[in-house]
Structure 1
């Protein structure tokens, strides 16, 4: 099983993924590293490595191999705002027998802006993240159709992870003990 945490920059995907992985006994796989890897053979400037056609099948292959090696499940924190890219990845994973539970961590524009502007971990990425808030707003219609939206405003990552874990895991069926 794959639990994909989507959403805008500043929504809390990285922090929530660590909390969620602990609850699910899962590994976290960040597809950003596949993008970093592609910067070596493709050093020309590109706005977003997700636009490289090679990135998407490599994410599928890498996630499938990690799942195969570890026995799964995987938590994947990655913003994907292009519906066709998400479909390509999710269909590729499903074709390998890996269903995707797709969640969007959501916060309103003012809260996202506040989080991005006060995030001290990656100050170099601040402007890039702010510049992509409009793309998230434009993607919201398809995200609302294709994913489970989880509001993160005023909530701690542990609470958010608990909610997602409850929705991602299939319900346990009670089997009465034999007499």
Structure 2
């Protein structure tokens, strides 16, 4: 099975794209790796960390949980999650591949102005806007390795959401056999 990891920072369009992709891809399901972080945050509250991705258990558990979901459902998994530390990404990817899964790393890219505008426009994220804004600069710093490791990079500042999903779907149908695409 294949794991489609949708990377990019806040405002790049990960959640929107993942939702549209799940609707478009027969035999695919959405998995939010952040939920593993929530589990660890509660259970490791006595540990010092500012982001659950810093925790080695998060980087070990995410591939294990995705693997179990794939084994249980027999479905491809779409995982929208920002990962800006290259060594963390390498660890996640290796964990997925070691369990026999193909990994398609999609990076949704946008310039800083677009990202800041989208963050400010999100009506559900008002309480965490400052935190999201603070992640734009680290994203821009990580952009070189992200785009180098990506199987597909799409500029979401100039590409409409439906076209982003279409481009990913086209890439997937060329690189893997998806149900309904044969």
TM-score by length of 2: 0.90
How far apart, in 2, do the equivalents of 1:168 and 1:29 lie? 18
- 1:43 equivalent in structure 2: 45
Deviations 1:71-122 (A, max 9, x none): 1211100000011111111111111111100010011100000000111112
How far apart, in 2, do the equivalents of 1:65 and 1:58 lie? 10
- 5+ residue gaps, structure 2, are 178-182
Verify: 1:86 aligned to 2:89, yes or no: yes
* Greater shift in the superposed pair: 152-161 or 139-148: 152-161
Deviations 1:134-167 (A, max 9, x none): 1101101111210021111143322211110111
Cα contact 2:119–2:125 (8 A) shared by 1: no
- 1:7 equivalent in structure 2: 8
Deviations 1:4-23 (A, max 9, x none): 10001110100100101111
- 5+ residue gaps, structure 1, are 174-179
* Greater shift in the superposed pair: 49-58 or 116-125: 116-125
- 1:19 equivalent in structure 2: 20
Using a 3 Å threshold, how does the CA distance of structure 1 residues 104 and 172 change in structure 2: closer, same or farther?
closer
Verify: 1:161 aligned to 2:165, yes or no: yes
1:30 counterpart (32, 35, 38) = 32
Residue correspondence of structure 1 range 1-179 to structure 2 within 5 A: 1-25=2-26, 26-44=28-46, 46-147=49-150, 148-170=152-174
TM-score by length of 1: 0.91
1:50, distance to aligned residue in structure 2 (A): 0.2
How far apart, in 1, do the equivalents of 2:57 and 2:110 lie? 31
How far apart, in 1, do the equivalents of 2:14 and 2:135 lie? 16
What secondary structure is seen at the aligned counterpart in 1 of 2:16?
helix
- Count of residue pairs brought into register by the alignment: 173
Using a 3 Å threshold, how does the CA distance of structure 1 residues 95 and 171 change in structure 2: closer, same or farther?
closer
* Greater shift in the superposed pair: 147-156 or 88-97: 147-156
Cα contact 2:6–2:79 (8 A) shared by 1: yes
